[in-house]
Amino acid sequence: INTGAVQWRRQLSSHAGLAADTGHLFVTDSDDRVWAADPVGGAGRWRQDRLKFRQLTAPVLIGNAIAVGDLDGWLHLIAQDDGRLLARTRIAKSPIVARPQVAGGRIFVYANDGTLAAVSVGPAPGGARAVSNQRAEAADRAAIPTDASDAVSRSPAATSAP
C-alpha cells in the first residue's frame, strides 16, 4: 500500500470473513461457499460448494488446510490447493459461530454451548488427514481445565466429509 491505490477489487458478499497469507486468500461467502483467490491479482482459484447453507465461520489457516466451523457443531478441513474436503469432526451439538483460532499447531474451537476444543491435525495412515479432538466442556466449571485428564479425548474422530 505504498501509494494507497487499490490493486484489485472483486464483488463478493461475505458475513463471516477471510483468512490470508502471502500466497493464499480464502473467503467464506454469504451462501456459505468457501472461495480461494490469488492475493496478488484477485483471480479465483477454486470454490467449495458442498458446505453451502451450513452457516460457516470465517476460515483459519492450518498447515496446507483451512478450517471452518458450522451451525451443527462440525469443524471441516479443506485443502488449500484445490478445495477438497479433507476431514471433519463434531465438536459440539450446538453452533460454532466464532472463528476458530490456531496456535502451536492446534485449532481451538468454541461452540455456543460452552464447549471448548483443541483439535490436532496431522497425517494418518494411508496418507489421509487425521483429526483428534480434546474437549473441555465449560458447563458447571468456573475455569478451563488445565489437566489433560479433565478433557474428553476422541481418536480417531475424523469422518469423511459428505
How confident is the model over 17-56, as pLDDT tens digits?
889 988 999 999 999 999 999 888 888 899 999 999 999 9
The span from the CA of 92 to the CA of 78, in Å, is 19
Residue 162: name the closest of 96, 88, 106, 66 by CA: 88
Q: Which three cell numbers stand for residue 7?
A: 490493486
| Cis status, amide bond into 162, omega within 30 of 0 | no
pLDDT by residue (tens digit) across 120-148? 987 644 444 445 554 443 333 333 333 33
| C-alpha R_g of the chain | 17
What is the pTM for the complete model shown?
Answer: 0.74
Question: DSSP letter at 125?
Answer: G
User: Rounded to the nearest 10 degrees, how much is the dihedral formed by the CA atoms of 138, 145, 90, 27?
Assistant: 90
Q: Note the pLDDT of residue 156.
A: 33
pLDDT at residue 146 in the model: 35
Dihedral sign from CA coordinates of 84, 86, 90, 96: negative
Q: Give 152: exposed, middle or buried? Use CB within 10 Å, 0-12, 13-18, 19+.
A: exposed
d(CA 25, CA 23): 7
Kindly report, residue by residue over 77-110, the tens digit of the pLDDT.
999 999 999 999 999 999 999 999 999 999 999 9
